[in-house]
A and B are shown apart, each in its own frame.
Chain A
Amino acid sequence: MSVEMAEIQKKNSIPPIQFGEEVSGAETLLRCLLLEQVEYIFGYPGGAVLPIYDSLYGSYFKHILTRHEQGAIHAADGYARATGKPGVCIATSGPGATNLVTGIATAQMDSVPLVCITGNVAQSLIGTDAFQEANITGITVPITKHSYFVRDVRDLPRIVKEAFHIATTGRPGPVLIDIPKDVANAIAPFTYPETVDVRGYRASVVPDDEEVQHFVTAIKAAKRPVIMAGGGIIAASADQELLAFAEKARIPVINTFMGLGGFPGVHELSLGMPGMHGNFTANQALLNADCVIGLGVRFDDRITMGRTKEFAPNARIVHVDIDPAELGKNVSTAVTVTGDVKSTLEKAIPLITACESEAWIRQLKDWQEKQPYKYKTDGDTLKPQAVIELLYRSTDGEAIVTTDVGQHQMWTAQYYKFKNARSFISSGGLGTMGFGFPAAIGAQIAHPERITIAVVGDGGFQMTNQELAIVSQYNIPVKVAIVNNQCLGMVRQWQELFYDNRYSQIDLTCSPDFVKLAEAYGVKGLRASTPQEAEAVWAEALAHDGPVVVDFRVAQEENVYPMVAAGNTLDQMELGDD
């Protein structure tokens, strides 16, 4: 046993972990998780995982019993995004396992490290359409980084070790371990490997010196350079390196949606978010740049608008990514670096010098002043954008903010100026409604000392609001800000703009009274319908030592602007009503 393992054993496990002791598969699993320094498990029991839950009984683990498996996996995901550590969830076979599917796909699209443990029926029943049997490894093949079906209890330690390794290294992602009940019950001497060797899996992250040299040379020559920083900055914890690099090279920074917080939103070189609902300046920067430096981005179609030939038409594109398959996948590049952004920037910082970019920076500043995000205020009407501005002002950009999916998500990305990495948590790739609230629970658990706000729509909140039970049960002080426009706002916006105001199936006026709903779970509920009420109510929510649900009743007809309609290019931007 290594010194480190011995240390963990001393600290964490009761009774102590003995190597060679005869234990069950369930016991083995939990011991492995302890040695992986897992602290929280989010899960839901059932027949096939009863051995695991039995071993959990009285153990060191902090287990959060969500009220739906989807809540468990999104909470594990929020925990992972807030910490960079892998999130762990457990579900039973069949329906428990399939309830994880949306959460697995969400994590896969946003490269979030998760280890998902599912039970399955005993191997003697596999393939017989047994009660609560589902082929979950088969179902999740396209949405996991990797998955395991455990056939023999003696393979379990190696598999757990590999699962954590694969989930957290290279481009992170979700890994599934499916454990049939007979394996969970089988007895074997406990072991845990200290090293992993997955043949054919290369998680090397350090780029070639030569590639870094090309990278630096390409950038030095630029007069109108712009960095497009994505989720890779956050995954690699490269925010400090990005700051140092951008300042030394004098290059303005665009943060993609997934990259928000990876560069301080209030920095003089910050341009904010580009793309469909990005700001004028960020998009102009892409249209006019002579060099676009993509760092940990995947040139998503919410930014390129799928018109990749017309994207950044005047620029040479330089692309750094840990996943070689992203290089050249969506856009044609002039220079590529295979590596994580942190080690690439570490190597590049000493080599880079300031670009002749001052005129360009002035031009961008000028655009920023002329075309900020804007909306009309209107007396007593509470505008959704004003709600987000209030959240920002009251927390000075320091809170962890999760969002659900829809208009409120875009307004949060626009009006909350994130200062720190891992403080903006949102389903970017899959766009999963129901994500925001449980993700906030995971993030809040990870950082009990920080303010965590879940900004949700009245639609999406109703997909996972049963998790109010756990914020109440464990007194998790998440502040839920419902941006309540009494409709499926983003759908309403598209129907208004592209379907001739034919508002089909978006009416949510028959939602529950959210204040009473919160109270029914023993959670404080508050409501605001005017800007004045919003200020007062929000101050009360922040002052309250525990979870709060605030129902912000906002103007229904508000749309998210700017907007580039699908099919258009970034220069065809609707700036909204003046």
Chain B
Amino acid sequence: MQQQTIAVLVNDYPGVLTRVSTLFGQRAFNIDSITVGGTEEAGLSRMIITTGGDDRQIDQLMKQLNKLIDVISVTNLSANSYVSRELALIKVSASPSQLAELNGIVEPFRAAIVDVGPTSLIVQVTGDTEKIDALLVLLQNYGVLELTRTGSVAMARSIVPATAAATV
């Protein structure tokens, strides 16, 4: 089972997210993460969905997604090289006196401390999943009080011609 990242271009209508997520449930696929937002074209949204599955399962998933009338196109980004980023906010149990020490930890990750309180502070980090996981491991030593992270946003790399990406 491989982690796959799929980009789905959809009409920006009410209920489209329901249609997509219902399809996953109905066809017994799992959504590991999903992000939705605007695109270069007004009226369209792009969903970035990460899910697990072998080639046959992903092929079937893409075909089923493509059958939805509100789906304009489906692209398997994992089929070629692509850029993906997540954002996480991590609330760490620490006092202001530990600020410098924590800065030393987050800096190599190009993360930032964006809020400081008497007993806790918030770290903001962007990057791929592994990078965020790695930072989390370090911060866990202090005590992670709260964690919230987005799913991936992703895009095929420019050197790959758009047509070469696996598209349905």
Q: How far is the CA of A142 from the CA of B66 in the complex (A)?
A: 14
Interface residues of B in 1-34 (CB under 8 A from A): 9, 11, 14-15, 18-19, 22-23, 26
Instruction: Tell me whether B22 and A329 are in contact (CB under 8 A).
Output: no
How near does chain B come to A275, taking the closest CB pair, in angstroms? Answer: 23
Say yes or no for B36: interface residue by CB 8 A criterion.
Answer: no
Stretch of B57-65, B94-102, B122-130, B150-158 on the interface side: B57-65
Say yes or no for A201: interface residue by CB 8 A criterion.
Answer: yes
Instruction: Tell me whether B67 and A325 are in contact (CB under 8 A).
Output: yes
Contacts of A166 in B (CB 8 A): 69
Instruction: Tell me whether A329 and B26 are in contact (CB under 8 A).
Output: no
Q: How far is the CA of A200 from the CA of B73 in the complex (A)?
A: 7
Q: How far is the CA of A142 from the CA of B23 in the complex (A)?
A: 7
Number of interface residues of B (CB under 8 A): 23
Given A324-B63, A328-B59, do A201 and B69 touch, yes or no (CB 8 Å)?
Answer: yes
How near does chain A come to B62, taking the closest CB pair, in angstroms? Answer: 9
Contacts of A15 in B (CB 8 A): none
Q: How far is the CA of A198 from the CA of B68 in the complex (A)?
A: 11
Given A328-B56, A328-B59, A329-B60, do A138 and B70 touch, yes or no (CB 8 Å)?
Answer: no
Instruction: Tell me whether A138 and B56 are in contact (CB under 8 A).
Output: no
Q: How far is the CA of A201 from the CA of B11 in the complex (A)?
A: 12
Contacts of B68 in A (CB 8 A): 146
Contacts of A200 in B (CB 8 A): 9, 11, 69-73
Contacts of B63 in A (CB 8 A): 324-325
Say yes or no for A181: interface residue by CB 8 A criterion.
Answer: no
Which one of A138, A142, A149, A201 contacts B26 once the chains associate, using CB atoms below 8 Å?
A142
Contacts of A309 in B (CB 8 A): none
Q: How far is the CA of A137 from the CA of B14 in the complex (A)?
A: 11
How near does chain B come to A128, taking the closest CB pair, in angstroms? Answer: 17
How near does chain A come to B108, taking the closest CB pair, in angstroms? Answer: 44
How near does chain B come to A324, taking the closest CB pair, in angstroms? Answer: 5
How near does chain A come to B165, taking the closest CB pair, in angstroms? Answer: 17
Contacts of B168 in A (CB 8 A): 324
How near does chain A come to B39, taking the closest CB pair, in angstroms? Answer: 13
Instruction: Tell me whether B18 and A328 are in contact (CB under 8 A).
Output: no
Given A328-B56, A328-B60, do A149 and B15 touch, yes or no (CB 8 Å)?
Answer: yes
Contacts of A328 in B (CB 8 A): 56, 59-60
Given A141-B18, A141-B19, A142-B22, do A325 and B64 touch, yes or no (CB 8 Å)?
Answer: yes
Measured CB to CB, the nearest residue on chain A to B21 is A141
Measured CB to CB, the nearest residue on chain A to B14 is A149
How near does chain A come to B55, taking the closest CB pair, in angstroms? Answer: 10
Q: How far is the CA of A363 from the CA of B59 in the complex (A)?
A: 39
Instruction: Tell me whether A141 and B69 are in contact (CB under 8 A).
Output: no
Measured CB to CB, the nearest residue on chain A to B56 is A328
Contacts of B9 in A (CB 8 A): 200
Instruction: Tell me whether B18 and A325 are in contact (CB under 8 A).
Output: no
Q: Mark A304-334, 1 if CB is under 8 A from B, else 0.
A: 0000000000000000000111001100000
Q: Mark A117-151, 1 if CB is under 8 A from B, else 0.
A: 00000000000000000000110011001100100
How near does chain B come to A422, taking the closest CB pair, in angstroms? Answer: 25
Say yes or no for A376: interface residue by CB 8 A criterion.
Answer: no
Q: How far is the CA of A329 from the CA of B59 in the complex (A)?
A: 9
Q: How far is the CA of A145 from the CA of B64 in the complex (A)?
A: 12
Q: Which of A138, A141, A328 has the most chain B CB atoms closer than 10 A to its own CB?
A: A141
Which one of A137, A142, A323 contacts B15 once the chains associate, using CB atoms below 8 Å?
A137
Q: How far is the CA of A199 from the CA of B73 in the complex (A)?
A: 10
Q: How far is the CA of A426 from the CA of B110 in the complex (A)?
A: 64
Given A325-B63, A325-B64, A328-B59, do A145 and B15 touch, yes or no (CB 8 Å)?
Answer: no
Which one of A138, A145, A324 contacts B18 once the chains associate, using CB atoms below 8 Å?
A138
Interface residues of A in 186-215 (CB under 8 A from B): 198-201
Instruction: Tell me whether B15 and A325 are in contact (CB under 8 A).
Output: no
Q: How far is the CA of A166 from the CA of B68 in the complex (A)?
A: 11
Q: Which of B18, B60, B67 has the most chain A CB atoms closer than 10 A to its own CB?
A: B67
Q: Mark A160-172, 1 if CB is under 8 A from B, else 0.
A: 0000001000000
Q: How far is the CA of A329 from the CA of B61 in the complex (A)?
A: 10
Given A137-B15, A141-B19, A328-B59, do A146 and B69 touch, yes or no (CB 8 Å)?
Answer: yes
Measured CB to CB, the nearest residue on chain B to A141 is B22
How near does chain B come to A110, taking the closest CB pair, in angstroms? Answer: 16
Q: How far is the CA of A179 from the CA of B15 in the complex (A)?
A: 16
Contacts of A329 in B (CB 8 A): 60
Q: How far is the CA of A324 from the CA of B64 in the complex (A)?
A: 9
Which one of A145, A149, A199, A324 contacts B72 once the chains associate, using CB atoms below 8 Å?
A199
Q: How far is the CA of A199 from the CA of B72 in the complex (A)?
A: 6
How near does chain B come to A187, taking the closest CB pair, in angstroms? Answer: 24
Which one of B15, B60, B71 contacts A138 once the chains associate, using CB atoms below 8 Å?
B15
Measured CB to CB, the nearest residue on chain B to A166 is B69
Which one of B23, B66, B69 contacts A198 once the chains associate, using CB atoms below 8 Å?
B69
How near does chain A come to B141, taking the closest CB pair, in angstroms? Answer: 46
How near does chain B come to A137, taking the closest CB pair, in angstroms? Answer: 7
Given contacts A145-B69, A146-B69, A199-B72, 10 further A-B contacts (CB under 8 A): A138-B18, A141-B22, A142-B23, A200-B11, A200-B73, A201-B69, A325-B60, A325-B63, A325-B67, A328-B60
Sample of 20 A–B contacts (CB below 8 Å): A141-B18, A142-B22, A142-B23, A142-B26, A146-B68, A149-B14, A199-B11, A199-B72, A200-B9, A200-B70, A200-B71, A200-B73, A201-B69, A324-B63, A324-B66, A325-B63, A325-B66, A328-B56, A328-B60, A329-B60
- Which residues of A are at the interface with B, using a C-beta cutoff of 8 A? 137-138, 141-142, 145-146, 149, 166, 198-201, 323-325, 328-329
